[in-house]
Amino acid sequence: MISGTAAYIVTRLEQEMERLPDPHNEIIQHLIELAYIPVQKANAMRSADVFKAKAQCLADIAASLLFDSAYLEKLLLIGEDFALKTLLRKICDIDQGLVIKTLPQGGESDLIARMIHYRLDVFGLWPRDVATPFSSFSLYQLGLIADFAKCTALQAFNFLGDVEQFTRYLLQIHPPEKFILIFQSPKVSDETKNKLDRRHAFKRQLIEDFGERSDFIKFLAHEILKNNPKKVDVLFLQKQANDPFKQFMLRLIQVHQWQDGFYGGLLDSDIGEVSLKSITDAIGFYNATDKRDIKTHRVITYVHRGYFVFNSLFFLQEYMIEDAGIENQSLEEKVLAGISTQLETANEGDRASFMANIDQLKKESYLHAAEPPQERKGLLQRIYFGTKRLLSKAFRFVHKIYGWVKDKIVEMWGFLKSLFRNFFEQLQTGIRAFLEGIGFMFGNKTIESAEDTEAIATKFSLDSDAVSISTKSIAAVHHGHTHKVRYKIRSLEFSLAVVGGILKMAISMVNVLTWPLLLFRIIKIFQDISASYMELSKIEMSIQ
């Protein structure tokens, strides 16, 4: 039996886990995004819908050959929800998304077809149901991207799974003036219009950046960014606002802003009040972190009749491309190590402030995710769960993160919420594994199976002695029970490895270990053990 202060540790970790997020709502969001649950059901979700969708999705994943079967099996041993969340996150990831080698045949409605339609949907190019079979219309829509990127439909699909690389590529192959975007946003408030009406300054900057080397820039400078806005060429503005490439670029920027946590509105290509605020927030964020003073007119100006001119070239180059060139795991490791080192040397007061703000981050990170995703105007209100870009940014600011949390820096709070959401999830899974391992060792775990009039119960004790008690006949439950026991024992291997890792760390750091440090160390231990457990480097995830 666990007693005294050992029980205290277990109780505190149980409490900690209760305050951490449940992956359930992320799973639901992805199931809706992939049309396993219709978006119309989002606001009135029934558990039967989720159950059915999970089963269908898991069957499609297994049939898709996107993942190695050994990888799937090991992932399931860490936990069913953890496995499904991890797989769905990979399928829906658009910054290190899965790569496919061939497009489906017409009429196929498998997971790959859903993935293709999902990515098109994120970029505003899929007006139909994501579950629709792959068809000539799918190819046509992929062809639109292929035209923008001067590539094949297959390359276009794979580009949509690496938004950063795709953006960099588009910036390389198109002339700079293609990224001077014009859009109309008639519903924006007069206050915002007045605040962003910096035509003269924008024009000066534009000429400074581009010169008057192209007709487009000359025309813009002389006919659009005029002193008297009433004399601007509205037809030109209209034509530019309807340019399909430029419309796509606006959507791409909305996606970038959504991925970075600056934009929390609907992915709808509508650059309204919320999108404009996300742009000015991004400028504020980088000014604060890089100690620069970029003015908003460097990026955007209001012109007339709801039309804005937006220098997306500067915006994308400065803020949206963040390739650290390092694998995610190393990035996470470096970010965590940076925080842990500062925690080890911090004084008690600073550590207390840090942890109070971490508790606050926990609450706020999951404020949206605490409730299932909602539908609005036929679209899904969704959160981006990919981590590559966040970690790249975090790596860039690794020495500042501890201070931002401790001092609760307002400009960084949105970024920190997104960044820590990922750490909190890993902490939760790490604590769960630890508690399961401890529970198995000290809880005399019983595994039970029953069907009709047959039943078996097997009880394992800490020294692995086993006692089974059953009804006389077990023909109906035998196979299932054996499978359940094997599964439990194999998942125990993972849990015990986490228990061992935590105990080892705790004993070696016993004189400096504090609760905050323990939590960050658990995240690190979970990452290390799951990486070696999964043998990630050996896994081929793109075998289509």
Partner 1 sequence: MANESDKIGQKKLKSGFQQLMSNIGEAIADAASLEVSTFTGDFTYTANQLVSNDVDKARIKNVLRNMTLESATELKLVAYTNVKIDSDVTTFVKSDLSQDDNELLKLHKEMIESSKASRQAMINMVKDLAKIG
In whole angstroms, what is the distance from residue 420 CA to residue 362 CA? 8
In whole angstroms, what is the distance from residue 225 CA to residue 233 CA? 10
C-beta of 339: minimal distance to partner 1 in Å?
16
Question: Restricting to residues 334-373, which ones interact with partner 1 according to CB under 8 A?
Answer: 348, 351-352, 355-356, 359
140 binds partner 1 (CB under 8 A): no
Among 321, 380, 457, 531, binds partner 1 (CB under 8 A): 457
Q: Which stretch binds partner 1 (CB under 8 A): 198-206, 391-399, 416-424, 438-446?
A: 438-446
Among 236, 513, 533, 544, binds partner 1 (CB under 8 A): 513
Per-residue DSSP letter, 105? P
Per-residue DSSP letter, 37? S
Positions of E strands within 328-453 = 375-376, 379-380, 446-451
Among 323, 451, 535, 536, binds partner 1 (CB under 8 A): 451
C-beta of 503: minimal distance to partner 1 in Å?
6
The helix/strand/coil state of 369 is: coil
Q: How many residues does the chain have?
A: 544
63 binds partner 1 (CB under 8 A): no
Q: Which is nearer to partner 1, 289 or 340 (CB)?
A: 340
Q: Which stretch binds partner 1 (CB under 8 A): 127-135, 159-167, 239-247, 504-512?
A: 504-512
C-beta of 506: minimal distance to partner 1 in Å?
4
Among 150, 238, 486, 535, binds partner 1 (CB under 8 A): 486
Positions of E strands within 47-188 = 180-184
In whole angstroms, what is the distance from residue 289 CA to residue 283 CA? 10
164 and 389 Cβ atoms separated by less than 8 Å: yes
Q: Which residues does residue 446 pair with via DSSP β-bridges, in sequence order? A: 459
Torsions phi, psi for 170 (to 5 deg): -60, -40
Tokens 């949509």 found at: 160
> What would the two tokens of residue 404 be?
């931002």
In whole angstroms, what is the distance from residue 47 CA to residue 49 CA? 5
12 binds partner 1 (CB under 8 A): yes
489 binds partner 1 (CB under 8 A): yes
C-beta of 345: minimal distance to partner 1 in Å?
13
Question: Restricting to residues 109-138, which ones interact with partner 1 according to CB under 8 A?
Answer: none
Among 27, 441, 522, 523, binds partner 1 (CB under 8 A): 441
330 binds partner 1 (CB under 8 A): no
Among 282, 518, 525, 534, binds partner 1 (CB under 8 A): 518
C-beta of 528: minimal distance to partner 1 in Å?
12
Among 114, 388, 421, 481, binds partner 1 (CB under 8 A): 481
Question: Restricting to residues 15-34, which ones interact with partner 1 according to CB under 8 A?
Answer: 16
The C-alpha angle 219, 222, 226, rounded to 5 degrees, equals 130
Closest CA to 263 of 247, 250, 275: 275
Q: Which is nearer to partner 1, 294 or 474 (CB)?
A: 474
Report strand pairing: 180-184 vs 300-304: unpaired
108 binds partner 1 (CB under 8 A): no
